[in-house]
A and B are shown apart, each in its own frame.
Chain A
Amino acid sequence: MSAAIVVQGLTRRYGAVMAVDGISFAVGAGEIFGLLGPNGAGKTTTLECILGLGRPDAGRITVCGVSDSRDARARIGAVLQATGLQDKITPREALDLFRSFYPKPVATDALINRFGLREKQHAAYDTLSGGQKQRLALALAFVGDPQVFVLDEPTAGLDPQMRREVQDHICAMKEAGRAVLLATHDMDEAERLCDRLAVIAGGRIVATGTPKDLIAGSQGSRLEDVILQLTARS
């Protein structure tokens, strides 16, 4: 399995605060790699550095062998927290717009069908439900037919049905041979979806392994207990 994302010694400070402190990991093609940890652990900062939204103070990041941030962005599809669209834009317009950003985009209709947006394709963004907005966010992440997906809590705030639907899309990414880097708070989701996990606390990776390995290597019987033990210890 070749590494689609390689992070080596990544460090990022905000003033006196060390948000990410020399973390390293790699995500292979066809793999879902989870980042787990409490709020403020450094998950989002790590993702932002990979996406070029933040500049690392130290370390190296390559995506599909490319270290230039703009070239890397062409290979990444991302769903981030705290992103949105204009109130009056429609899903179809948003997809058409984002298609113009990529050299070989996926057809708009294919994305609309795949993510169940046919009925709402001409509706204003501010009239969409939370689930529909998240479907659109996923569709936008797919527009460039990326090799790598970076997802920051993509199921946060969704109802169980929609959460399962989004998780199915994530599984489909893996089955298509894409690398998926997933930051999540949802332990069940991490256990169900992720091939490997990295537990982050205080800006450092405190444990890595498959969900089963992590559970087996600790005193807890559930992943949630394991994470609580690891992060409390750090």
Chain B
Amino acid sequence: MTALLHITALSLKLNFRNRMAILYGYLFPLIFLVAFWAIYRNDPVPLALHVGQFLTVTVLGGACFGLPTTIVGERERGVWRRYVLAPVPRSTFVISILAARYVLLIIAALLQLALGLAFGMPLPLHPFDLWLGFSLVAFAFMAMGMVIAMLVGNVPAVQALGQCIFLPMLMIGGVAVQLESLPAWAQHIAAFFPGRYAVDVLQASAMGTGLTRLGFDFLALGLIGLAGSIAAAGMFRWDRSFAPNKAWVAVALGIWLVVGVLAELQGRITLQTAQDTQDVGTSRNYMASKSAPAPETSWRDVTDADYDKIAFNHLPPDTGIISPVSRADEVPDPVIVPELDRIRDALPAWAPGNVADPVQRTRNLLMLAAVPDILQMEQVERFVPRLVFARLQAVIPPRDLPRILYWIAMHPDDGDDAAIHQLQAFGLPDVTGPGKPARGRIMLYAFKLLGRLTGHIPPL
């Protein structure tokens, strides 16, 4: 035990004397964090929806590069050859180097979380779950790092092999690039990488509902860690002159295949296509007949017969990423509840939502639903429309609201869109650029609320 503590403590001390180790171990994770913050700067809650991603990057980097570089470097120098001459169980050296790496990963993660908090990220909701999930992810990835360390013979080879795992996991494994942003084929491939399960576990622990609903992800990471550990033990070598039996790699990678197949067979790979930025078309796209509707001169001329001309079934589904609307029984993630409360509280006093012209007032309020949708504000975008619909029903007379909604849907380019720059009261960013996409979403939400009011779509 004394030897274990001594080696662990010394490994940590030596790590802090190594500039490159500090650069890779601490600076890079912080740079990744800042990058996430910059990329998702329009998120309603800074970084809160990306904790799983940036923590996974840290563990993955430590596993693919930090751990094997240390082990292979020391093995090359004959440090381990010297260690094993001591009358200490050899497992002591392996455990201590893993323990030191685990502590280093924890420190890096704490630094990331601290910087995240400074950027406005809320405190993790489930600290114990986060620690547990982080430990499991570390176990899975460090086992992978041990496989790399046993497989390669020198430090440059660690970099080469590490990049072969690190970069694909980042780009198409659901770690740096969100799964939703990936094409369908990549989302299927991501199921075979441990990265996506790590992100799920860490995100749910930090900002979601905890680990209780993540049995499969837990199992996947556990199996990947176990298989990696077995493979690394099978290939273990103290001395670079010993050749490892590379057949063990099949055990480590085989479990990735098993996990991916299980995920596919169990239907856990839900595909979402990234179409959110595409043009949603004009109102004609949502009419039963392609012929132009009879022109009205005022929203007051709209009749019930006009509503029947709309093909409500052409509208994007509420469950999609274009103009989404949450289900009536859907409970928001706890992390976005404060944000939703803030919007609900700010709505009555919001000046654009109280202008005299009821059409412009409606258009302005629909803007509040449209902007989070454009910005793909995860989860928030699904619940804000419900708040907007409720507010519209409170401030627009029931007899007028369907006609105004129809009018807006038919004339999305009319009126003023200055309200897009007055959303800071809700904690939403000031959206710059052309207002056309927002007007398209206003049209869709007008259609969707109209459909609910007229009975063409099931009510909220």
- Report the separation of the CA atoms of residues A52 and B74 in the bound assembly, to the nearest whole angstrom: 20
CB-CB under 8 A from B17, the residues of chain A are 88, 124
Say yes or no for A51: interface residue by CB 8 A criterion.
Answer: yes
Say yes or no for B31: interface residue by CB 8 A criterion.
Answer: no
CB-CB under 8 A from B239, the residues of chain A are 53
**How distant is A38 from chain B, measured CB to nearest CB, in Å?**
19
Contact indicator A89/B81 (Cβ below 8 Å): no
Contact indicator A73/B87 (Cβ below 8 Å): yes
CB-CB under 8 A from B238, the residues of chain A are 53
Contact indicator A71/B87 (Cβ below 8 Å): yes
**How distant is B286 from chain A, measured CB to nearest CB, in Å?**
68
- Report the separation of the CA atoms of residues A101 and B17 in the bound assembly, to the nearest whole angstrom: 24
Q: Which of A83, A96, A97 gathers the greatest number of chain B CB atoms within 10 Å?
A: A83
- Report the separation of the CA atoms of residues A148 and B6 in the bound assembly, to the nearest whole angstrom: 25
- Which chain A residue lies CB-closest to B3? A100
Task: Mark interface residues in A119-159 (1 if CB within 8 Å of B CB, else 0).
Answer: 00000100000000000000010001000000000000000
Say yes or no for A191: interface residue by CB 8 A criterion.
Answer: no
Q: Which of A52, A80, A144 contacts B82 (CB 8 A)?
A: A80
- Report the separation of the CA atoms of residues A53 and B88 in the bound assembly, to the nearest whole angstrom: 13
Q: Which of B10, B18, B79, B85 contacts A84 (CB 8 A)?
A: B79
CB-CB under 8 A from A82, the residues of chain B are 78, 81
- Report the separation of the CA atoms of residues A226 and B18 in the bound assembly, to the nearest whole angstrom: 50
Say yes or no for A25: interface residue by CB 8 A criterion.
Answer: no
Knowing A70-B89, A97-B7, the reply to whether A88 touches B18 (Cβ < 8 A) is yes
CB-CB under 8 A from A70, the residues of chain B are 87, 89
**How distant is A68 from chain B, measured CB to nearest CB, in Å?**
10
CB-CB under 8 A from A144, the residues of chain B are 86-87
**How distant is A86 from chain B, measured CB to nearest CB, in Å?**
5
Say yes or no for A74: interface residue by CB 8 A criterion.
Answer: yes
Say yes or no for A85: interface residue by CB 8 A criterion.
Answer: yes
Task: Mark interface residues in A86-98 (1 if CB within 8 Å of B CB, else 0).
Answer: 1111000100111
Say yes or no for B77: interface residue by CB 8 A criterion.
Answer: yes
Interface residues of B in 52-107 (CB under 8 A from A): 74, 77-79, 81-82, 84-89
- Report the separation of the CA atoms of residues A16 and B2 in the bound assembly, to the nearest whole angstrom: 42
Q: Which of B79, B81, B86 gathers the greatest number of chain A CB atoms within 10 Å?
A: B86
Contact indicator B82/A85 (Cβ below 8 Å): yes
Q: A-side interface residues toward B, CB under 8 Å?
A: 51-53, 70-71, 73-74, 76, 78, 80, 82-89, 93, 96-98, 100-102, 124, 140, 144
- 8 A-B residue pairs with Cβ-Cβ distance under 8 Å, sorted by A, are A71-B87, A74-B87, A82-B78, A83-B79, A85-B82, A98-B86, A102-B87, A124-B17
